[in-house]
Amino acid sequence: MRVLLVEDEPDLRRQLAETVAAAGYAVDQTGDGEEGHFLGDTEPYDAVILDLGLPGMDGLSVLERWRKDGRAMPVLVLTARDRWRDKVAGIDAGADDYLAKPFVMEELLARLRALIRRSTGHASNDLEYAGLRIDTRAASVTVDGNPIKLTALEYRLLAYLMHHQGRILSRTELIEHLYDQDFDRDSNTIEVFVGRLRKKLGRDLIQTERGLGYRLAAPGDAT
């Protein structure tokens, strides 16, 4: 899962980026409103963390332009403003949630998980499929109750597949949601990670749809 972070305060941006990355997300970050707008307008994100007080273009303007252009990714607004009028302005501009500074990092992560969960049609932090379970709060994976140790990229791939159960996901889409902007992307690595996941999960839940991509499939489904 891939997140855009737009926050102009350097120390807070660094702390947020480290916290969100440690929770299992790929993170792109910027401290400038215009660059943030450009990234959100041209790159696919599973969620955005957006400060309102930004140089170049303020956060409300960024958000309004995204929504006007049809960008529907969930957005969590951060701001030092705690007046109800500012909250209403953020929601009316298209924000999905609102968090006033100062805040606790655990609350931000909980709100981020909720946004992604709702946007993909899930009601719980626990994603389950054919004996496979992901606890998105702990970024942990079990199969039939047995813990499975995954690398960060393996976890991101499996989490994206689990959030989008029933869909065929192309290699291009998976690459766009697994890696941050600066990563040297190679479509062949998807096949490598899928192969590793199949071995670690001990069952062939990830089916290859020839010429299309991958999907989660219960044991016994035809390829």
Give the start-to-end residue ranges of the domains of the chain: 2-119, 126-216
* Mean pLDDT per 10-residue segment, the chain (223 residues): 96 96 94 96 96 92 96 92 77 90 94 93 88 92 94 93 91 89 70 92 86 78 48
Nearest CA to 165 among 101, 115, 197, 121?
Answer: 121
- Say how far apart CA 99 and CA 55 lie, in whole Å: 20
Distance CA 148, CA 113 (A): 21
CA proximity to 152, closest of 28, 20, 46: 20
98-145 per-position pLDDT tens digit: 998 889 999 999 999 999 999 988 888 899 988 899 999 999 999 999
E strand residue ranges, the chain: 2-6, 26-30, 47-51, 75-79, 97-100, 126-129, 132-135, 140-143, 146-148, 206-209, 213-216
Would you give the distance in Å from CA 50 to the centre of its chain? 14
The Cα 1–Cα 158 span in angstroms is 10
Could you tell me if 41 and 16 are in contact, meaning their C-beta atoms sit under 8 angstroms apart? no
Supply the pLDDT for residue 113: 94
Query: β-strands 26-30, 146-148: how paired?
Result: unpaired
Give the class (CATH, top level) of 126-216.
mainly alpha
Task: Please give the pLDDT value at position 183.
Answer: 65
Cβ neighbours around 222 below 10 Å, total: 5
pLDDT on residue 87: 78
* Domain at 2-119: CATH architecture: 3-Layer(aba) Sandwich (3.40)
Q: What is the pLDDT of residue 80?
A: 80
- Res 222: pLDDT: 43
- pTM of the predicted protein model: 0.86
For residues 99 and 107, is the Cβ–Cβ distance under 8 A?
Answer: yes
